[in-house]
Each structure stands twice: as C-alpha cells, then as structure tokens.
C-alpha cells in the first residue's frame, strides 16, 4: 500500500488566499496520485476562511477542516494538525504556499533517502528566492539566525521557512513535546529533533515572499527572542524529556483538540 501523506495548513483570516492555495494543492496531489489528506487548521478566523474551505470539501474528499478553540497561534495550529494527522509522512506549509506545493517532492525525497525531518531553506541557495523580503526583514532574520546558533546551538541556514516534513515516528516524538504556540515554534521543533538524535536534512526550496505576511519583524522578533530563552529554560527543566500531548490514534473520523497527556 502506498504511503499516506498528511499536509497541514494553519490558517488565520486567509479567505483571500486559502482558495487559490487549495486549488493548486488539490491539482498537484491528484497529478501525483497521492494517497493524501489535506488538513486546514482554522485558527479562530473572523473572516470566512472556514466557509471557503467547506466549499472545497464538497468535491474534495482529501480535505479536512479542524477548528481551534479561538485564535491560539501558528504553533498551536500546526501542533493541532499534526496531532490529528493520520499520515506516514507529514508536512506543514504556510496557507499561501510561499514555497510552491511541488517543492514538497524535495522534502519527501529527503525522507525517502533516510531523513527523519526535512525542512525547507530559503538561504541554503539564496538564488531559489523568486521574490525576496524587504531589507529590514532580511536583517532581522539574519540576526535571529545568529541568536539561534548562540542560544540553541542550531547550525542551520534557515529555521523559519514554513515548509517542513517528517516521518510519523518523528512527528509523534516532536509534536507531543512542542510547547511554543506562537511564531517562534519552528526552532523548538528542530531543537527537539536534534535533542533526540533524529536525522535532519535542510533542503533548498523555491520561495517567494508575500508582502501580506502577518509577522511584524520588530514586535514579533522580540517575542521570538523571548521564546528562544523559553526553549532553553524548558530544556534545562526537563520539559522535553517526556510527552505533554497525545498523538491521535489512526481512527478515521476522530478529532483530538490538543489532548493533554494523562499522568
């Protein structure tokens, strides 16, 4: 039997972008003849994001919609999607597909070649950026990357690209321990993966900046720096030594919303 792929798309007020993104994703996975589920996690949107997704679901059995209990953050949304995913290989992407969905083939190839975690990089080969960020965003991103190396010891060119894939084993290990629920969750995922000795591959992917990004490079940058320190503190306190959350059993139709692990 072919592998089941899970594609998780966190979405907050994405009514203008989620439709075109889903159309491209559905066309792509059908061309590949994948056994796939596409999980849109609606993060308490106040627009008609959920209605747009439901309009696709009528003719797309591949689609699932999860509703967060209010606006909880991108990290929460990705974790919620992962905890509810049933795939053998799991991938999450920004809803606008800043990295085109076809780039998923590169991440999956890396996993098929032995990686437990494969994550997209905008800076491994900078020429793959078809539309770059503003100079301010680039400066903040580079400064943040230096802090990642100093505080968490992550030696990668790019941890923040919202395009990552992993095996089910890796997902169960990482996302049951993930604590950061805001924008700064990406380095936490990689930190946990390194902590447990998972095989990790940074993959150069095509990427185009979208000026409608909801991240404020200054305000959110400060929050993300605080979250780096939080990750270090959590690690010293043994927070990652055992799971906090439960992964959903592969029972069709069952939905778990951020289930805490019982003692």
What pLDDT digit, counting tens, does each position of 112-123 carry? 999 999 999 986
Residue 103 and residue 163 in contact, taking contact as beta carbons nearer than 8 Å: yes
What pLDDT digit, counting tens, does each position of 189-206 carry? 999 999 999 999 999 999
At 251 the pLDDT is: 47
Mean pLDDT to the nearest integer, 204-233 = 75
User: For the chain, which residues make up each domain, given as ranges?
Assistant: 4-236
Residue 69 and residue 126 in contact, taking contact as beta carbons nearer than 8 Å: no
Residue 90 CA from chain centroid, whole number: 9
As to burial, measured by CB atoms within 10 angstroms (0-12 exposed, 13-18 middle, 19+ buried), residue 193 is buried
Band (pLDDT 50/70/90 cuts) for residue 211 is low
- Please give the model's pTM, rounded to 2 decimal places: 0.86
What residues are paired with 41 via a beta bridge?
A: 10, 66
What pLDDT digit, counting tens, does each position of 111-151 carry? 999 999 999 998 676 655 555 555 656 656 666 777 776 77
Q: Domain 4-236: which CATH class?
A: alpha beta
Band (pLDDT 50/70/90 cuts) for residue 25 is very high
As to burial, measured by CB atoms within 10 angstroms (0-12 exposed, 13-18 middle, 19+ buried), residue 40 is buried
pLDDT for residue 22 is more than 80 = yes
At 87 the pLDDT is: 96
Q: How far apart are CA 87 and CA 95, in angstroms?
A: 19
Query: In terms of Cα–Cα distance, which of 82, 83, 100, 80 is closest to 91?
Result: 82
Q: Which residues of 120-132 are buried (b: 16+ CB within 10 A; e: fewer)?
A: bbbbeeeebbeee
What proportion of the chain, given as a percentage, has pLDDT over 70?
Answer: 81
């Amino acid at each position: 039997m072919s592998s089941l792929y899970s594609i998780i798309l966190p979405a907050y007020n994405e009514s203008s972008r989620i439709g075109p993104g889903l159309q491209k994703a559905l066309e792509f996975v059908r061309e590949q003849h994948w056994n796939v589920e596409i999980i849109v996690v609606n993060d308490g949107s106040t627009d008609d994001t959920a209605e747009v997704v439901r309009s696709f679901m009528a003719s797309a059995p591949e689609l699932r919609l999860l509703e967060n209990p209010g606006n909880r953050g991108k990290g929460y949304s990705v974790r919620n999607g992962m905890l509810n995913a049933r795939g053998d290989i799991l991938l999450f992407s920004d809803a606008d597909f800043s990295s085109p969905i076809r780039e998923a083939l590169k991440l999956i190839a890396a996993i098929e070649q032995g990686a437990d975690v494969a994550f997209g990089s905008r800076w491994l080969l900078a020429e793959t950026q078809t539309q770059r960020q503003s100079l301010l965003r680039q400066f903040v991103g580079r400064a943040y990357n230096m802090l990642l190396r100093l505080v968490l010891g992550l030696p990668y060119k790019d941890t923040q690209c919202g395009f990552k894939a992993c095996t089910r084993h890796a997902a169960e290990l990482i996302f049951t321990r993930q604590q950061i629920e805001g924008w700064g969750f990406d380095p936490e995922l990689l930190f946990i993966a390194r902590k447990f000795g998972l095989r990790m591959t940074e993959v150069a992917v095509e990427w185009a900046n979208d000026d409608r990004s909801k991240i404020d490079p200054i305000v959110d940058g400060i929050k993300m720096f605080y979250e780096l320190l939080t990750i270090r503190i959590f690690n010293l306190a043994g927070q990652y030594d055992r799971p906090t959350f439960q992964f959903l059993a592969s029972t069709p139709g069952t939905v778990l919303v951020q289930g805490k692990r019982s003692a």
